[in-house]
Amino acid sequence: MGKQKKFVEEITAMEDNFAQWYTDVVKKADLVDYSSVRGSMIIRPYGYALWENIQKVLDGKIKETGHENVYMPLFIPESLLQKEKDHIEGFAPEVALVTHGGSEELHERLVVRPTSEVLFCDHYANIIHSYRDLPKLYNQWANVVRWEKTTRPFLRTLEFLWQEGHTAHATDEEAAEEVIKMLGVYTELCENYLAIPVIRGQKTEKEKFAGAKYTYTIESLMHDGKALQSGTSHHLGTGFAESFGIQYTDQNGDLQFVHQTSWGLTTRIIGALIMVHGDNRGLVLPPKIAPTQLMIVPIAQHKEGVLDFAYGLKEKLKNVARVGIDASDKTPGWKFNEYEMKGIPIRLEVGPKDIENGQVVLVRRDTGEKSFVPMNQLETVVTELLDDIQRNLFTKAKQHREDKTSIATSLDEFKAKLEENPGFIKAMWCGKQACEEKIKEETSATSRCIPFEQEQVHDNCVVCGDKAEHMVYWAKAY
Ligand SMILES: [Zn+2]
Protein backbone atom coordinates (compact mmCIF):
# COMPACT_ATOMS: atom_id res chain seq x y z
CA MET A 1 0.00 0.00 0.00
CA GLY A 2 2.82 2.38 0.91
CA LYS A 3 4.39 1.91 -2.50
CA GLN A 4 1.10 2.43 -4.34
CA LYS A 5 0.45 5.65 -2.51
CA LYS A 6 3.87 7.01 -3.29
CA PHE A 7 3.42 6.23 -6.99
CA VAL A 8 0.33 8.41 -7.22
CA GLU A 9 1.98 11.17 -5.23
CA GLU A 10 4.53 11.46 -7.97
CA ILE A 11 2.03 13.35 -10.11
CA THR A 12 1.17 16.85 -9.01
CA ALA A 13 -2.55 17.29 -8.37
CA MET A 14 -4.34 19.21 -11.13
CA GLU A 15 -5.87 21.58 -8.60
CA ASP A 16 -2.44 22.51 -7.21
CA ASN A 17 -0.62 23.18 -10.47
CA PHE A 18 -2.24 22.24 -13.75
CA ALA A 19 0.86 22.92 -15.87
CA GLN A 20 2.98 20.68 -13.65
CA TRP A 21 0.25 18.00 -13.67
CA TYR A 22 0.38 18.04 -17.50
CA THR A 23 4.17 17.74 -17.58
CA ASP A 24 4.08 14.91 -15.03
CA VAL A 25 1.49 12.97 -17.03
CA VAL A 26 3.22 13.20 -20.40
CA LYS A 27 6.43 11.96 -18.79
CA LYS A 28 5.03 9.31 -16.42
CA ALA A 29 2.66 7.85 -18.99
CA ASP A 30 5.71 7.40 -21.26
CA LEU A 31 4.28 9.57 -24.03
CA VAL A 32 7.35 11.73 -24.63
CA ASP A 33 10.89 12.39 -23.55
CA TYR A 34 12.84 15.61 -23.89
CA SER A 35 15.59 15.73 -26.48
CA SER A 36 18.89 17.59 -26.56
CA VAL A 37 17.37 20.36 -28.72
CA ARG A 38 15.32 22.86 -26.74
CA GLY A 39 11.62 22.55 -27.52
CA SER A 40 11.93 19.34 -29.51
CA MET A 41 10.33 16.18 -28.19
CA ILE A 42 10.90 12.48 -28.60
CA ILE A 43 7.54 10.80 -29.09
CA ARG A 44 7.91 7.46 -27.31
CA PRO A 45 6.19 4.23 -28.45
CA TYR A 46 3.06 4.75 -26.34
CA GLY A 47 2.65 8.33 -27.55
CA TYR A 48 3.35 7.34 -31.11
CA ALA A 49 0.84 4.47 -30.98
CA LEU A 50 -1.74 7.03 -29.94
CA TRP A 51 -0.80 9.26 -32.89
CA GLU A 52 -0.94 6.28 -35.25
CA ASN A 53 -4.48 5.47 -34.13
CA ILE A 54 -5.57 9.07 -34.67
CA GLN A 55 -3.79 9.05 -38.02
CA LYS A 56 -5.47 5.83 -39.09
CA VAL A 57 -8.97 7.22 -38.47
CA LEU A 58 -8.24 10.59 -40.06
CA ASP A 59 -6.38 9.18 -43.05
CA GLY A 60 -9.32 6.87 -43.74
CA LYS A 61 -11.72 9.81 -43.73
CA ILE A 62 -9.43 11.96 -45.89
CA LYS A 63 -9.34 9.20 -48.49
CA GLU A 64 -13.08 8.49 -48.23
CA THR A 65 -13.70 12.13 -49.16
CA GLY A 66 -11.69 11.72 -52.35
CA HIS A 67 -8.22 12.97 -51.42
CA GLU A 68 -4.86 11.49 -52.38
CA ASN A 69 -1.69 11.47 -50.27
CA VAL A 70 1.50 12.99 -51.65
CA TYR A 71 4.85 14.03 -50.22
CA MET A 72 6.48 17.42 -50.68
CA PRO A 73 10.12 18.34 -49.94
CA LEU A 74 11.23 19.53 -46.50
CA PHE A 75 13.04 22.60 -47.89
CA ILE A 76 11.54 25.70 -49.48
CA PRO A 77 13.70 28.23 -51.38
CA GLU A 78 13.40 31.51 -49.48
CA SER A 79 12.23 33.38 -52.60
CA LEU A 80 9.32 30.97 -53.01
CA LEU A 81 8.05 31.63 -49.50
CA GLN A 82 8.19 35.38 -50.20
CA LYS A 83 5.85 35.19 -53.19
CA GLU A 84 2.67 35.64 -51.15
CA LYS A 85 3.02 38.79 -49.04
CA ASP A 86 0.56 38.14 -46.19
CA HIS A 87 1.72 34.57 -45.92
CA ILE A 88 5.40 35.42 -45.43
CA GLU A 89 4.54 38.17 -42.95
CA GLY A 90 2.62 35.61 -40.92
CA PHE A 91 5.39 33.03 -40.84
CA ALA A 92 8.67 34.99 -41.09
CA PRO A 93 9.21 35.37 -37.32
CA GLU A 94 9.27 31.63 -36.78
CA VAL A 95 11.04 30.10 -39.77
CA ALA A 96 14.23 28.06 -39.49
CA LEU A 97 16.75 28.72 -42.27
CA VAL A 98 19.42 26.51 -43.77
CA THR A 99 22.38 28.67 -44.78
CA HIS A 100 25.06 26.06 -45.49
CA GLY A 101 25.26 22.77 -47.35
CA GLY A 102 28.26 21.02 -45.86
CA SER A 103 30.87 23.77 -45.57
CA GLU A 104 29.60 25.81 -48.52
CA GLU A 105 27.32 28.76 -48.13
CA LEU A 106 24.16 28.39 -50.21
CA HIS A 107 23.40 30.86 -53.00
CA GLU A 108 19.84 30.93 -51.78
CA ARG A 109 18.87 30.14 -48.22
CA LEU A 110 16.38 27.33 -47.68
CA VAL A 111 13.46 27.51 -45.31
CA VAL A 112 12.58 24.37 -43.36
CA ARG A 113 8.86 24.10 -44.10
CA PRO A 114 6.63 25.76 -41.49
CA THR A 115 3.67 24.74 -43.72
CA SER A 116 3.64 23.79 -47.39
CA GLU A 117 1.21 26.13 -49.19
CA VAL A 118 3.90 27.56 -51.44
CA LEU A 119 5.30 24.16 -52.41
CA PHE A 120 1.85 22.94 -53.42
CA CYS A 121 1.22 26.19 -55.30
CA ASP A 122 4.50 25.92 -57.18
CA HIS A 123 3.62 22.33 -58.12
CA TYR A 124 0.01 23.17 -59.04
CA ALA A 125 1.21 25.91 -61.38
CA ASN A 126 3.09 23.19 -63.27
CA ILE A 127 0.41 20.50 -63.41
CA ILE A 128 -2.87 22.43 -63.72
CA HIS A 129 -3.67 23.68 -67.23
CA SER A 130 -7.25 22.83 -68.06
CA TYR A 131 -10.59 22.55 -66.25
CA ARG A 132 -10.09 18.81 -66.81
CA ASP A 133 -7.18 18.90 -64.33
CA LEU A 134 -9.50 20.06 -61.53
CA PRO A 135 -10.15 19.56 -58.74
CA LYS A 136 -6.79 18.61 -57.24
CA LEU A 137 -7.38 17.07 -53.82
CA TYR A 138 -4.00 16.45 -52.15
CA ASN A 139 -2.98 15.73 -48.59
CA GLN A 140 0.39 15.09 -46.98
CA TRP A 141 1.45 13.61 -43.65
CA ALA A 142 4.64 15.36 -42.61
CA ASN A 143 6.65 17.18 -39.97
CA VAL A 144 6.92 20.97 -39.92
CA VAL A 145 9.19 23.36 -38.03
CA ARG A 146 8.23 26.61 -36.33
CA TRP A 147 10.80 28.37 -34.16
CA GLU A 148 8.64 28.93 -31.08
CA LYS A 149 9.93 30.87 -28.07
CA THR A 150 8.12 28.96 -25.36
CA THR A 151 7.45 25.29 -25.86
CA ARG A 152 5.55 22.46 -24.16
CA PRO A 153 5.28 18.80 -25.23
CA PHE A 154 2.57 18.31 -27.88
CA LEU A 155 1.12 21.81 -27.38
CA ARG A 156 3.94 23.87 -28.82
CA THR A 157 7.15 22.30 -30.08
CA LEU A 158 9.73 23.44 -32.63
CA GLU A 159 8.95 20.43 -34.77
CA PHE A 160 5.59 18.70 -34.87
CA LEU A 161 3.72 16.16 -36.94
CA TRP A 162 0.54 16.85 -38.85
CA GLN A 163 -1.41 16.37 -41.99
CA GLU A 164 -1.94 19.28 -44.35
CA GLY A 165 -4.55 19.17 -47.09
CA HIS A 166 -4.12 21.41 -50.14
CA THR A 167 -6.78 21.56 -52.81
CA ALA A 168 -7.43 23.51 -56.00
CA HIS A 169 -10.91 24.01 -57.49
CA ALA A 170 -12.54 25.59 -60.51
CA THR A 171 -14.95 27.76 -58.53
CA ASP A 172 -15.19 29.67 -55.27
CA GLU A 173 -18.30 27.67 -54.29
CA GLU A 174 -16.51 24.36 -54.74
CA ALA A 175 -13.62 25.54 -52.57
CA ALA A 176 -16.10 26.78 -49.93
CA GLU A 177 -17.75 23.35 -49.91
CA GLU A 178 -14.37 21.69 -49.42
CA VAL A 179 -13.52 23.97 -46.46
CA ILE A 180 -16.70 23.09 -44.58
CA LYS A 181 -16.49 19.40 -45.53
CA MET A 182 -13.03 19.04 -44.00
CA LEU A 183 -14.07 20.93 -40.87
CA GLY A 184 -16.79 18.28 -40.65
CA VAL A 185 -14.19 15.51 -40.89
CA TYR A 186 -12.20 17.08 -38.02
CA THR A 187 -15.36 17.46 -35.96
CA GLU A 188 -16.20 13.80 -36.45
CA LEU A 189 -12.69 12.73 -35.46
CA CYS A 190 -12.77 14.87 -32.31
CA GLU A 191 -16.29 14.13 -31.15
CA ASN A 192 -16.82 10.52 -32.23
CA TYR A 193 -13.33 9.11 -31.67
CA LEU A 194 -11.49 11.38 -29.24
CA ALA A 195 -14.66 12.17 -27.24
CA ILE A 196 -13.74 15.87 -27.35
CA PRO A 197 -16.73 18.18 -27.95
CA VAL A 198 -15.90 21.14 -30.18
CA ILE A 199 -17.30 24.57 -31.06
CA ARG A 200 -17.34 25.12 -34.81
CA GLY A 201 -16.98 28.57 -36.24
CA GLN A 202 -15.05 31.18 -38.17
CA LYS A 203 -11.90 32.97 -37.03
CA THR A 204 -11.97 36.76 -36.91
CA GLU A 205 -9.88 38.68 -39.49
CA LYS A 206 -7.21 39.17 -36.83
CA GLU A 207 -6.94 35.47 -36.01
CA LYS A 208 -7.34 33.97 -39.49
CA PHE A 209 -4.55 32.13 -41.32
CA ALA A 210 -1.95 34.35 -43.00
CA GLY A 211 -2.98 34.69 -46.64
CA ALA A 212 -6.46 33.16 -46.30
CA LYS A 213 -9.81 34.62 -47.36
CA TYR A 214 -11.29 33.09 -44.22
CA THR A 215 -10.50 30.38 -41.67
CA TYR A 216 -12.87 27.92 -40.03
CA THR A 217 -11.86 26.32 -36.76
CA ILE A 218 -12.91 23.81 -34.15
CA GLU A 219 -12.23 24.91 -30.57
CA SER A 220 -12.22 22.71 -27.51
CA LEU A 221 -12.04 23.47 -23.79
CA MET A 222 -9.40 21.95 -21.52
CA HIS A 223 -9.91 20.91 -17.91
CA ASP A 224 -8.32 24.11 -16.60
CA GLY A 225 -10.72 26.31 -18.60
CA LYS A 226 -8.26 27.23 -21.37
CA ALA A 227 -9.25 26.72 -24.99
CA LEU A 228 -7.30 24.82 -27.60
CA GLN A 229 -7.62 25.32 -31.34
CA SER A 230 -8.03 21.73 -32.46
CA GLY A 231 -8.12 21.89 -36.26
CA THR A 232 -8.44 24.58 -38.92
CA SER A 233 -9.70 24.72 -42.50
CA HIS A 234 -8.90 27.71 -44.72
CA HIS A 235 -10.47 29.15 -47.84
CA LEU A 236 -7.50 30.65 -49.67
CA GLY A 237 -9.55 32.30 -52.42
CA THR A 238 -7.45 33.14 -55.50
CA GLY A 239 -4.70 35.05 -53.65
CA PHE A 240 -2.08 32.31 -53.86
CA ALA A 241 -3.14 31.39 -57.40
CA GLU A 242 -2.53 34.99 -58.49
CA SER A 243 0.91 35.12 -56.84
CA PHE A 244 1.96 31.76 -58.27
CA GLY A 245 0.18 31.93 -61.62
CA ILE A 246 -2.02 28.87 -61.15
CA GLN A 247 -4.42 29.20 -64.07
CA TYR A 248 -6.60 26.87 -66.07
CA THR A 249 -8.50 27.18 -69.34
CA ASP A 250 -12.23 26.85 -68.71
CA GLN A 251 -14.86 25.29 -71.00
CA ASN A 252 -15.14 28.53 -72.98
CA GLY A 253 -11.42 28.69 -73.56
CA ASP A 254 -10.90 31.54 -71.07
CA LEU A 255 -8.03 31.63 -68.55
CA GLN A 256 -9.14 31.47 -64.90
CA PHE A 257 -7.38 31.40 -61.54
CA VAL A 258 -8.00 28.34 -59.34
CA HIS A 259 -9.69 28.65 -55.94
CA GLN A 260 -7.71 26.95 -53.17
CA THR A 261 -8.10 25.56 -49.67
CA SER A 262 -5.78 24.17 -47.01
CA TRP A 263 -6.55 22.40 -43.74
CA GLY A 264 -4.51 20.83 -40.98
CA LEU A 265 -4.61 18.84 -37.77
CA THR A 266 -1.50 18.28 -35.64
CA THR A 267 -0.03 16.27 -32.76
CA ARG A 268 -1.36 19.10 -30.55
CA ILE A 269 -4.56 17.12 -30.48
CA ILE A 270 -2.80 14.65 -28.16
CA GLY A 271 -2.34 17.56 -25.75
CA ALA A 272 -6.09 18.14 -25.93
CA LEU A 273 -6.78 14.48 -25.29
CA ILE A 274 -4.65 14.61 -22.13
CA MET A 275 -6.12 17.87 -20.82
CA VAL A 276 -9.77 17.11 -21.59
CA HIS A 277 -10.00 13.61 -20.10
CA GLY A 278 -7.05 13.19 -17.70
CA ASP A 279 -7.35 13.13 -13.91
CA ASN A 280 -5.12 12.97 -10.84
CA ARG A 281 -4.24 9.35 -11.53
CA GLY A 282 -2.99 10.14 -15.02
CA LEU A 283 -4.28 9.71 -18.56
CA VAL A 284 -7.83 8.64 -19.38
CA LEU A 285 -8.10 7.43 -22.97
CA PRO A 286 -11.25 7.07 -25.06
CA PRO A 287 -11.55 3.37 -26.02
CA LYS A 288 -11.75 4.08 -29.76
CA ILE A 289 -8.19 5.37 -29.95
CA ALA A 290 -6.58 3.72 -26.90
CA PRO A 291 -3.62 1.58 -28.07
CA THR A 292 -4.64 -1.01 -25.46
CA GLN A 293 -8.33 -1.11 -24.48
CA LEU A 294 -8.20 -3.80 -21.83
CA MET A 295 -5.26 -4.88 -19.68
CA ILE A 296 -5.27 -8.24 -17.95
CA VAL A 297 -3.57 -8.33 -14.56
CA PRO A 298 -3.25 -11.89 -13.18
CA ILE A 299 -3.49 -12.10 -9.36
CA ALA A 300 -1.31 -14.64 -7.51
CA GLN A 301 0.04 -15.65 -10.88
CA HIS A 302 2.57 -18.05 -9.34
CA LYS A 303 -0.35 -20.36 -8.42
CA GLU A 304 -0.96 -23.21 -10.77
CA GLY A 305 -3.23 -22.52 -13.70
CA VAL A 306 -3.60 -18.75 -13.22
CA LEU A 307 -1.31 -17.65 -16.05
CA ASP A 308 -2.68 -20.23 -18.48
CA PHE A 309 -6.16 -19.04 -17.66
CA ALA A 310 -5.18 -15.37 -18.14
CA TYR A 311 -3.62 -16.08 -21.53
CA GLY A 312 -6.77 -17.99 -22.45
CA LEU A 313 -8.80 -14.85 -21.65
CA LYS A 314 -6.54 -12.75 -23.85
CA GLU A 315 -7.22 -15.14 -26.73
CA LYS A 316 -10.94 -15.13 -26.02
CA LEU A 317 -11.19 -11.32 -25.92
CA LYS A 318 -8.98 -10.45 -28.85
CA ASN A 319 -11.95 -10.29 -31.21
CA VAL A 320 -13.78 -7.67 -29.14
CA ALA A 321 -10.92 -5.48 -27.85
CA ARG A 322 -7.24 -4.59 -28.16
CA VAL A 323 -6.02 -6.66 -25.21
CA GLY A 324 -2.76 -6.60 -23.28
CA ILE A 325 -1.53 -8.80 -20.45
CA ASP A 326 1.10 -8.04 -17.84
CA ALA A 327 2.59 -11.30 -16.59
CA SER A 328 5.77 -9.63 -15.29
CA ASP A 329 6.84 -10.22 -11.70
CA LYS A 330 5.89 -6.68 -10.59
CA THR A 331 3.19 -6.54 -7.90
CA PRO A 332 -0.49 -6.26 -8.89
CA GLY A 333 -0.55 -2.91 -7.05
CA TRP A 334 2.24 -1.55 -9.22
CA LYS A 335 0.46 -2.77 -12.33
CA PHE A 336 -2.87 -1.21 -11.31
CA ASN A 337 -1.19 2.18 -10.94
CA GLU A 338 0.81 1.86 -14.12
CA TYR A 339 -2.20 1.12 -16.31
CA GLU A 340 -4.30 3.76 -14.64
CA MET A 341 -1.51 6.22 -15.38
CA LYS A 342 -1.55 5.07 -19.00
CA GLY A 343 -5.31 5.61 -19.19
CA ILE A 344 -6.21 2.08 -20.34
CA PRO A 345 -10.03 2.02 -20.38
CA ILE A 346 -10.59 -1.39 -18.67
CA ARG A 347 -8.53 -3.46 -16.26
CA LEU A 348 -9.33 -7.15 -15.90
CA GLU A 349 -8.21 -8.88 -12.72
CA VAL A 350 -8.24 -12.66 -12.43
CA GLY A 351 -6.95 -14.87 -9.59
CA PRO A 352 -7.41 -18.43 -8.27
CA LYS A 353 -10.69 -17.57 -6.47
CA ASP A 354 -12.20 -15.99 -9.59
CA ILE A 355 -11.26 -19.02 -11.67
CA GLU A 356 -12.96 -21.25 -9.08
CA ASN A 357 -16.10 -19.06 -9.22
CA GLY A 358 -16.15 -18.80 -13.02
CA GLN A 359 -15.84 -15.02 -13.03
CA VAL A 360 -13.40 -12.12 -13.47
CA VAL A 361 -13.20 -8.57 -12.13
CA LEU A 362 -13.49 -5.59 -14.47
CA VAL A 363 -12.49 -2.07 -13.39
CA ARG A 364 -13.34 1.00 -15.50
CA ARG A 365 -10.68 3.69 -15.72
CA ASP A 366 -13.14 6.57 -16.14
CA THR A 367 -15.25 5.97 -12.99
CA GLY A 368 -13.15 3.45 -11.04
CA GLU A 369 -16.26 1.25 -10.84
CA LYS A 370 -15.58 -2.44 -10.21
CA SER A 371 -17.79 -5.33 -11.31
CA PHE A 372 -17.74 -9.13 -11.17
CA VAL A 373 -18.55 -10.64 -14.53
CA PRO A 374 -19.42 -14.31 -15.18
CA MET A 375 -17.15 -15.90 -17.77
CA ASN A 376 -19.97 -16.69 -20.17
CA GLN A 377 -20.96 -12.99 -20.41
CA LEU A 378 -17.46 -11.57 -20.67
CA GLU A 379 -17.30 -10.67 -24.38
CA THR A 380 -20.70 -8.98 -24.35
CA VAL A 381 -19.94 -7.04 -21.18
CA VAL A 382 -16.54 -5.85 -22.42
CA THR A 383 -18.04 -4.65 -25.72
CA GLU A 384 -20.81 -2.75 -23.92
CA LEU A 385 -18.41 -1.33 -21.36
CA LEU A 386 -16.07 0.09 -24.03
CA ASP A 387 -19.04 1.79 -25.72
CA ASP A 388 -20.25 3.11 -22.41
CA ILE A 389 -16.85 4.54 -21.43
CA GLN A 390 -16.56 6.22 -24.83
CA ARG A 391 -20.00 7.83 -24.38
CA ASN A 392 -19.39 8.78 -20.79
CA LEU A 393 -16.12 10.60 -21.60
CA PHE A 394 -17.87 12.69 -24.24
CA THR A 395 -20.83 13.49 -21.98
CA LYS A 396 -18.54 14.44 -19.11
CA ALA A 397 -16.40 16.68 -21.31
CA LYS A 398 -19.46 18.38 -22.74
CA GLN A 399 -20.93 18.96 -19.29
CA HIS A 400 -17.62 20.38 -18.12
CA ARG A 401 -17.55 22.77 -21.10
CA GLU A 402 -21.10 23.90 -20.39
CA ASP A 403 -20.29 24.46 -16.71
CA LYS A 404 -17.34 26.58 -17.77
CA THR A 405 -19.13 28.73 -20.32
CA SER A 406 -20.45 32.13 -19.19
CA ILE A 407 -22.17 35.08 -20.80
CA ALA A 408 -20.88 38.63 -20.40
CA THR A 409 -22.57 41.87 -21.49
CA SER A 410 -19.95 44.37 -20.27
CA LEU A 411 -16.17 44.35 -20.04
CA ASP A 412 -16.31 44.40 -16.23
CA GLU A 413 -18.62 41.42 -16.22
CA PHE A 414 -16.28 39.74 -18.75
CA LYS A 415 -13.32 40.13 -16.39
CA ALA A 416 -15.25 39.02 -13.32
CA LYS A 417 -16.66 35.90 -14.98
CA LEU A 418 -13.32 34.91 -16.47
CA GLU A 419 -11.76 35.26 -13.04
CA GLU A 420 -14.36 33.32 -11.03
CA ASN A 421 -15.03 30.59 -13.60
CA PRO A 422 -12.23 30.33 -16.19
CA GLY A 423 -13.54 29.01 -19.48
CA PHE A 424 -15.41 30.23 -22.54
CA ILE A 425 -17.07 33.63 -22.42
CA LYS A 426 -19.88 34.23 -24.86
CA ALA A 427 -20.11 37.94 -25.65
CA MET A 428 -21.37 40.17 -28.44
CA TRP A 429 -18.91 42.02 -30.68
CA CYS A 430 -19.29 44.94 -33.09
CA GLY A 431 -16.71 43.58 -35.54
CA LYS A 432 -14.07 46.28 -34.91
CA GLN A 433 -10.52 45.06 -34.38
CA ALA A 434 -9.91 47.73 -31.71
CA CYS A 435 -12.55 46.10 -29.45
CA GLU A 436 -11.09 42.65 -30.03
CA GLU A 437 -7.64 43.95 -29.11
CA LYS A 438 -8.92 45.69 -26.01
CA ILE A 439 -10.30 42.41 -24.68
CA LYS A 440 -6.96 40.74 -25.24
CA GLU A 441 -5.05 43.56 -23.53
CA GLU A 442 -7.31 43.73 -20.50
CA THR A 443 -8.16 40.06 -19.96
CA SER A 444 -5.57 38.09 -22.02
CA ALA A 445 -8.51 36.19 -23.52
CA THR A 446 -8.59 36.02 -27.33
CA SER A 447 -11.44 35.56 -29.75
CA ARG A 448 -11.67 31.82 -30.38
CA CYS A 449 -14.33 31.91 -33.08
CA ILE A 450 -17.56 33.37 -34.37
CA PRO A 451 -19.63 30.20 -33.92
CA PHE A 452 -21.86 28.97 -36.74
CA GLU A 453 -24.60 28.61 -34.13
CA GLN A 454 -25.20 32.22 -33.23
CA GLU A 455 -27.13 33.39 -30.15
CA GLN A 456 -28.24 36.94 -29.46
CA VAL A 457 -27.00 37.11 -25.84
CA HIS A 458 -27.17 40.92 -25.90
CA ASP A 459 -27.72 43.69 -28.45
CA ASN A 460 -24.50 45.66 -28.00
CA CYS A 461 -20.75 45.12 -28.27
CA VAL A 462 -19.28 44.00 -24.93
CA VAL A 463 -16.53 46.64 -25.23
CA CYS A 464 -17.78 49.79 -27.01
CA GLY A 465 -21.54 49.38 -26.66
CA ASP A 466 -22.17 49.87 -30.40
CA LYS A 467 -24.66 47.66 -32.15
CA ALA A 468 -23.23 44.12 -32.19
CA GLU A 469 -22.65 42.07 -35.32
CA HIS A 470 -21.76 38.66 -33.90
CA MET A 471 -21.70 36.56 -30.79
CA VAL A 472 -18.11 35.42 -30.23
CA TYR A 473 -16.54 32.72 -28.05
CA TRP A 474 -13.60 34.18 -26.08
CA ALA A 475 -11.10 32.38 -23.86
CA LYS A 476 -7.54 32.22 -22.73
CA ALA A 477 -5.93 29.69 -25.01
CA TYR A 478 -2.99 27.32 -25.39
ZN1 LIG B 1 -17.09 47.23 -30.19
Q: DSSP class of residue 377?
A: G
pLDDT value, residue 9: 56
Q: How far is CA 294 from CA 25, 98, 453, in A?
A: 20, 47, 38
Tell whether 356 and 381 lie within a shared domain: yes
- Residue among 213, 126, 128, 114 at smallest CA distance from 164: 114
Q: Is residue 5 part of a domain?
A: no
| CA of residue 403 to ligand 1 center, whole Å | 27
Tell whether 264 and 296 lie within a shared domain: no
Q: 93 or 428: whose pLDDT is higher?
A: 428
Spatial separation of the C-alpha atoms in residues 414 and 447, rounded to whole Å: 13
Tell whether 200 and 323 lie within a shared domain: no
| CA of residue 408 to ligand 1 center, whole Å | 14
Q: What is the pLDDT of residues 92-115, one digit of tens each?
A: 889 999 999 999 999 999 999 999
| CA of residue 468 to ligand 1 center, whole Å | 7
Q: Is residue 426 part of a domain?
A: yes
Tell whether 210 and 263 lie within a shared domain: yes
Domain of residue 443 covers 406-475
CATH number of the domain enclosing 258:
3.30.930.10
Tell whether 235 and 298 lie within a shared domain: no
| CA of residue 233 to ligand 1 center, whole Å | 27
Tell whether 423 and 358 lie within a shared domain: no
Q: What percent of the chain has pLDDT over 90?
A: 94
Tell whether 347 and 228 lie within a shared domain: no
pLDDT value, residue 395: 98
Q: What is the pLDDT of residues 302-359, one digit of tens each?
A: 999 999 999 999 999 999 999 999 999 999 999 999 999 999 999 999 999 999 999 9
Spatial separation of the C-alpha atoms in residues 344 and 60, rounded to whole Å: 24
Q: Is residue 391 part of a domain?
A: no
Tell whether 109 and 197 lie within a shared domain: yes
| CA of residue 428 to ligand 1 center, whole Å | 8
pLDDT > 90? residue 75? yes
Q: Nearest 5°: CA angle at 183, between 54 and 196?
A: 50
Helix residue ranges, H only, 10-44: 18-28
Query: Angle 45-64/172-188 helices, nearest 10 degrees?
Result: 140
| CA of residue 410 to ligand 1 center, whole Å | 11
Tell whether 138 and 169 lie within a shared domain: yes
Q: Is residue 464 part of a domain?
A: yes
Tell whether 331 and 452 lie within a shared domain: no
pLDDT > 80? residue 79? yes
Among 227, 253, 277, which residue terminates a domain? Answer: 277
| CA of residue 320 to ligand 1 center, whole Å | 55
Q: Number of folded domains in the chain?
A: 3
Tell whether 35 and 141 lie within a shared domain: yes
State the pTM of this model. Answer: 0.95
**Element containing residue 349 per DSSP (H, E):** strand 346-350
Tell me the pLDDT of the chain averaged across its residues: 95
Q: What percent of the chain has pLDDT over 70?
A: 98
Among 254, 277, 300, which residue terminates a domain? Answer: 277
pLDDT value, residue 8: 52
- Residue among 232, 192, 231, 201 at smallest CA distance from 397: 192
Under the phi-then-psi rule, with left for phi > 0, alpha for psi from -120 to 50, and beta for the rest, what region is 297? beta
| CA of residue 143 to ligand 1 center, whole Å | 40
pLDDT value, residue 254: 97
Q: Is residue 9 part of a domain?
A: no
pLDDT > 60? residue 221? yes
Tell whether 330 and 256 lie within a shared domain: no
